[in-house]
Amino acid sequence: MKADFRILKISFIRLLSFLFSDSLKICLCLQASFLLVHCRTEVRGQLPCDGKTLTGMQCIPGGEFVRGSNVFSANEQPESVVHISDFYMDLYEVTNEDFETCLNAGYCSDCLGEGKCDYIGPRYGAPYLGKRQPILGVSWYTAKEYCNWAGKRLPTESEWEKAARGTNGNLYPWGNEPASCEKAVIEVDTKKGCVTTKTEKPQLMPTLDVGSRPPGVYGLYDMAGNSWEWVSDWYSVSYEKCGKDCFGKDPRGPCNGDEVCPGSNMKIVRGGSWWWPGEMARGSYRRAHVPENFPEYHHFGFRCAKTF
């Protein structure tokens, strides 16, 4: 019975989110000696993010959204309703140019001296080093250091998913239509990165400049494809196994996502990449990896979030 009620609740929220935006509600007003029922648009309390704007970032309005899936991988279960407070998210993935600025300032390489990574940046050379291409090959620790240096932080897994899917559980940032090269930088058939011909040695197909595809539900770019993105949370094999740390308001996962978490050794990347098919670019798809990004090295990137 409880499970049926939860599904009914999620379906009802999806219906409301289709009919009304986050900033709309149905109002009942008592006026004089009779009941006047009417509908009007109204901002819920104050404007999202207090109406403040940040250069290069987008305000993601707070509220409930549908997280996870009961249809796909077990680690996405259960589909549930989670409440997230207002926050800002970078419009774009952090680029090579952005990251170089941090390095030139004397930051973003601490993990090398601390033994928390053994390499920083893409290993495949020039095809991946364009100024506007996403930085690749960074550890979770490096991503965290960059965001801290920039006065920001890594997004939580739930924040990231809301920013990618919107409120009603869409599969992708654009809706429920299958992923394609017109919508995301992914692998389609044998075309990695939607490129028809391979580059010179090592015979790989590169990422594209950030923002090369249309924006998603909140105006963010590349929330599906181009580069995998680190989030702050430690990985749990399912939300159910994670328990209370993954539910309620503003969940942060095991140990609140802190750098040390006894019993946890994997962090999470989201969003898929140019190297993998569209299935992995779904908004609820979760991939676990060691935060050091070694000895198994992958071309992971990130974007940052911020709250006041």
Give the pLDDT confidence of 154-168 residue by residue, as tens digits.
999 999 999 999 998
Confidence grade of residue 2 (pLDDT, cut at 50, 70, 90):
very low
* pLDDT exceeds cutoff 60 at 100: yes
Q: Comparing 123 with 59, which gets the higher pLDDT?
A: 59
pLDDT at 99: 98
**Range scoring the smallest mean pLDDT among 183-192, 237-246, 253-262:** 183-192
**Range scoring the smallest mean pLDDT among 21-30, 91-100, 193-202, 257-266:** 21-30
Write the CA distances from 79 to 66, 238, 299, integer angstroms.
7, 10, 29
Write the CA distances from 27 to 33, 37, 40, 47, 69, integer angstroms.
18, 7, 7, 18, 32
Give mean pLDDT, residues 210-230: 98
pLDDT at 271: 98
Burial class (CB in 10 A: 0-12, 13-18, 19+), 304: buried
Give mean pLDDT, residues 65-84: 97
pLDDT at 200: 56
Cis bond leading into 215, ω under 30°? Answer: no
pLDDT at 203: 52
* pLDDT exceeds cutoff 60 at 287: yes
pLDDT at 199: 56
pLDDT at 291: 97
Q: For residues 275 and 19, what is the distance between their CA atoms, to the nearest angstrom? A: 37
- Cβ partners under 8 Å of residue 187, min gap 6: 193, 274, 275, 276, 277, 278
**Range scoring the smallest mean pLDDT among 144-158, 183-197, 210-224:** 183-197
What domains, with CATH codes, occur in the chain? 1-45 (no CATH), 49-306 (3.90.1580.10)
pLDDT in tens, 123-156: 888 889 999 999 999 999 999 999 999 999 999 9
Taking all residues of the chain, what is their mean pLDDT, rounded to a whole number?
A: 86
Confidence grade of residue 41 (pLDDT, cut at 50, 70, 90):
very low
pLDDT at 279: 96
